[in-house]
Structure 1
Amino acid sequence: MPRAFPTLAAAASLALTATAPALAADAQARMTYDVYVGGLRMLEVESGLALGADRYDVDLSAHVVGIAAAFSDWRSNVRSSGAVDGPRVQPARNVVQRINGDSDKTTTITFLGGGKMDVEIVPSTKPKREQAIPPQQLVHALDPMSGVVSILQAMHVGAAACTGQVPVFDGRRLYRADLADGGTVMLDKAEQGMYGGQAQRCTISLTPMVGDFNFGDERRNAKPTEYLQRTSRAPDQRVITTWLASPGGNLPAVPVRIESESPWGRVIVHLRAVAAGAS
């Protein structure tokens, strides 16, 4: 079961342009999420979001809770930062730390521009390799956290927020994220969550594109490994549905609910608490 936790955290964080939108004020929010798998609360996630005039910062910390904590002390810390230009985001750096018992691994992606990436894995058991995936395939790639920010930033400035395709790069694999706008819907307040009301529904379908990056100490494998559970409708798709809304006051729109499938049951992420400020 510990191998499930990176996937579940990805589902929690992966909820992912128009012309000359009006400038929006800076926005910050701090959220607490509960992740349920097969009806059981398995993870608690804390996340901070800061959207500025020209840059963004987002962080996420997840740890196991409930029955899962009896079998694992898995934790993960993720941070992404970069520039914003209207509805567009340009990631600069993504750091993912995963801790499980005595195992502690950190993957850092530095976006160098023009599709060039520097990926560092610590600790690494093999010499670092040169970038093997063609840069032209990564020119517009976003890390998963920045993919979420790209949607929230577009909503923040009043642009089309859930349309088109986004290449998503996690340091090992490249995915194509197809975004589908489900329109504004009325979301019933769940017992486990804090929000009920109007929300924009956004569906993200992930398709693996390249699975052998030859970075750091990652194994060479031409077959893309599982990121999220395949759906019964399309064998190669991983589908996440998220509902986005401002929880109130002057808070920016954030994911208020996320749903996906997983090999361990249905994943539902509920927003439990939110406050102004990203720290």
Structure 2
Amino acid sequence: MTSLALSRCARATTLSMTVLVLPLSGHAAEAPQHLRLGYDVYVGGLKMGRMTLETEIKGEDYRVTVAAEAGDMLARLIKWSYTAEADGHFGGVNGVAPRHFHSLRTLRDKSWDATLSYAAPYGTRDTAVTFTQTPPPSPDDATAVPADQRPGTVDLLSAAVAISRHAEGGDCASRLPVYDGRRRYDVLMESRPRRHIEKSDYTVFDGDAIGCHVAILPVAGFQPAGRGSQNFWTAAPDGKPRGFDLWIGRPVAGGPVVPVRLEAGELFFTHVIGHLAQVDVLPPSP
């Protein structure tokens, strides 16, 4: 696998994890509202690295940050990292009304600094979305998603906040429109059977978990997959949406449910597994 393929696999795995890697806000006053979660990602049995996510709920406002970088073995082949943050409030037509999203991706000696800004009124079907990037996107990338398909969408992290709220009752079914600055797609959630996960050297979780299937439905900006390509962010040759299975559970008594395991078999013809490896309850920020 080339370094470029490894980078694409790393980025797709990281973004796949963020689709539902956020805890629910919780309705009980005593429920933790500020958590740090650590996920170890394995590709073909080899540890790719650690993704850390921190989320905080204050009333009807949310803030979430995610950071990922290559593990020791992968870092010898590529210098890659990804960070992102989003904030907004609950409500609106999608269940969340994002205000701002920012990401920074690095690969070797290059970096891409991207921002999505949302105009008031927030959370409506007509909410305008502005995308900027340094360096600027190519003309093809800049026009890959028509302007009339961007209003009313949410960023991927905010979509995860909205989707996760549906899962506390044991039903994953939901659908969210996402625009990430390059592609327009819907994140579709469907319920799957529960399973019991035992604590091990890989995971800190021990208990029953709700099963979910996450599918990415392309709308605009997806290139056709090349011959023999399994790039997660391309349109599959058979037209089927790419996706992965996810299990969510409650690792902290009285706390929210969070993703505890991810399995995907559609990334470069190899199996990807993500384990919940760390859970920290943090004090509220000032």
Matches within 5 A, 1:41-190: 41-85=47-91, 88-112=95-119, 113=122, 114-124=126-136, 133-135=146-148, 137-155=149-167, 162-182=172-192, 184-190=194-200
Deviation at 1:110, TM superposition (A): 0.9
Deviation at 1:77, TM superposition (A): 0.5
Specify the alignment match of 1:271 in structure 2.
276
Counterpart pick for 1:33 among 30, 39, 42? 39
Specify the alignment match of 1:19 in structure 2.
none
Q: CA-atom RMSD, angstroms?
A: 3.2
Cα 1:191–1:60, aligned 2, differ >3 Å: closer, same or farther? same
What amino acid maps onto 2:12 in structure 1? T
Deviation at 1:29, TM superposition (A): 0.8
What amino acid maps onto 1:57 in structure 2? R
Specify the alignment match of 2:249 in structure 1.
245
What amino acid maps onto 2:15 in structure 1? A
Distance in 2 of aligned mates of 1:126 and 1:14:
26
Deviation at 1:237, TM superposition (A): 1.2
Deviation at 1:154, TM superposition (A): 4.0
Specify the alignment match of 1:8 in structure 2.
13
What percent identity do the matched residue pairs reach?
23
Cα 1:129–1:242, aligned 2, differ >3 Å: closer, same or farther? closer
Specify the alignment match of 2:3 in structure 1.
none
Conserved 8 A contact 1:140-1:166: no
What amino acid maps onto 2:181 in structure 1? G
Q: Name structure 2 gaps, 5 residues minimum.
A: 1-5
Distance in 2 of aligned mates of 1:138 and 1:39:
38
Conserved 8 A contact 2:211-2:245: yes
Cα 1:201–1:129, aligned 2, differ >3 Å: closer, same or farther? closer
Count residues in correspondence: 262
Distance in 2 of aligned mates of 1:161 and 1:118:
33
Specify the alignment match of 1:216 in structure 2.
none
Specify the alignment match of 1:217 in structure 2.
none
What amino acid maps onto 1:266 in structure 2? H
Distance in 1 of aligned mates of 2:61 and 2:13:
28
Deviation at 1:2, TM superposition (A): 2.4
Distance in 1 of aligned mates of 2:250 and 2:170:
16
35-44 or 88-97: which moved more? 88-97
Deviation at 1:60, TM superposition (A): 0.6
Distance in 2 of aligned mates of 1:67 and 1:97:
22
236-245 or 27-36: which moved more? 236-245
Conserved 8 A contact 2:142-2:182: no
Deviation at 1:53, TM superposition (A): 1.7
Cα 1:23–1:67, aligned 2, differ >3 Å: closer, same or farther? closer
Cα 1:190–1:236, aligned 2, differ >3 Å: closer, same or farther? farther
Cα 1:193–1:228, aligned 2, differ >3 Å: closer, same or farther? farther
Distance in 2 of aligned mates of 1:211 and 1:125:
13
Deviation at 1:227, TM superposition (A): 3.4
What's the CA shift string for 1:106-159, capped at 9, x where partnerless? 111112251421100012276996896244x4444221111211123345xx56
What's the CA shift string for 1:7-46, capped at 9, x where partnerless? 1211221238xxxxx9543612101110000110012111
- Give secondary structure in 2 for the equivalent of 1:2: helix
What amino acid maps onto 1:102 in structure 2? D
Deviation at 1:229, TM superposition (A): 7.7
